[in-house]
């Protein structure tokens, strides 16, 4: 029998008997993990001209340490050109920081609410997902965890693949009609690369 894992901002998140987790909501755009590793722009820059605004990363006043890579002196880590490194919950083991996280600019991914991650049967981070909007679908990986009150976030690459009119995290997204599906415990394969399931 299907069970309700969470109710977030009026959205019911359900896990079916076959393990599939699903919900329908709006779609906010996430840029985290975009560190130029596939030739695209960085999510964040010191001059605030990255794909997303530094304020959305919580910098300098909020919880930016959950989003940006911290250097030894307590400030965000940047390269010689003023690009700031950001992170996703999913992290490739053994890779250097520039290539460690999932690139929002080029990889379709889902951001999952922490309640869904906690209550779902099966490992969520690294699992395969499918996002559908207006008869278009894209295969994705669950790569990041949102704030406690948020539901329905996807990477820039996912938004572009689904044909969102605006795919920028600064002003993009849609208010409704996005179907999210994921299969905890089943590893995602994107562009021939197998993602490792990463327990909490």
Q: Is residue 23 part of a domain?
A: yes
In this prediction, residue 62 carries a pLDDT of 80
- H or E element that contains 175: strand 174-187
Q: Is residue 79 part of a domain?
A: no
Q: Is residue 16 part of a domain?
A: yes
Give the residues of the chain that fall short of pLDDT 70: none
Domain at 179, CATH number = 2.40.40.10
Question: Which structural domain, as residue segments, surrounds residue 133?
Answer: 3-31+104-194
DSSP state, residue 146: -
What is the C-alpha to C-alpha distance for residues 92 and 135, in angstroms, rounded to an integer?
Answer: 32
Q: Is residue 78 part of a domain?
A: no
Q: Is residue 135 part of a domain?
A: yes
Please name the residues in contact with 134: beta carbons below 8 A apart, sequence gap of 6 or more. Answer: 162, 163, 177
CB count, 10 Å around CB of 72? 6
In this prediction, residue 61 carries a pLDDT of 87
pTM of this structure: 0.96
Whether the CB-CB separation of 53 and 108 falls below 8 Å is answered with no
In this prediction, residue 63 carries a pLDDT of 87
In this prediction, residue 200 carries a pLDDT of 85
Q: Is residue 21 part of a domain?
A: yes
Q: Is residue 54 part of a domain?
A: no
CB burial of residue 148 (10 Å; 0-12, 13-18, 19+)? exposed
Q: Is residue 61 part of a domain?
A: no
Overall domain count for the chain:
1
């Amino acid at each position: 029998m299907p069970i309700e894992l969470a109710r977030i901002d009026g959205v019911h998140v359900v896990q079916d008997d076959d393990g599939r987790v699903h919900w329908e909501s709006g779609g906010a755009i996430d840029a985290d993990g975009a560190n130029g590793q596939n030739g695209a722009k960085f999510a964040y820059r010191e001059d605030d001209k990255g794909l997303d605004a530094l304020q959305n990363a919580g910098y300098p006043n909020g919880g930016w340490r959950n989003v940006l890579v911290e250097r030894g002196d307590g400030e965000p880590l940047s390269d010689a050109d003023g690009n700031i490194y950001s992170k996703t919950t999913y992290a490739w083991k053994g890779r250097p920081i520039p290539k460690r996280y999932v690139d929002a600019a080029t990889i379709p991914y889902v951001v999952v609410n922490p309640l869904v991650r906690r209550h779902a049967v099966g490992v969520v981070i690294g699992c395969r997902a499918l996002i559908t909007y207006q008869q278009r679908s894209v295969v994705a990986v669950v790569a990041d965890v949102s704030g406690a009150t948020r539901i329905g976030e996807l990477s820039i690459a996912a938004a572009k693949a689904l044909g969102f009119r605006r795919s920028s995290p600064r002003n993009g997204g849609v208010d409704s009609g996005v179907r999210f599906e994921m299969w905890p415990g089943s590893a995602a394969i994107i562009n021939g690369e197998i993602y490792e399931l990463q327990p909490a």
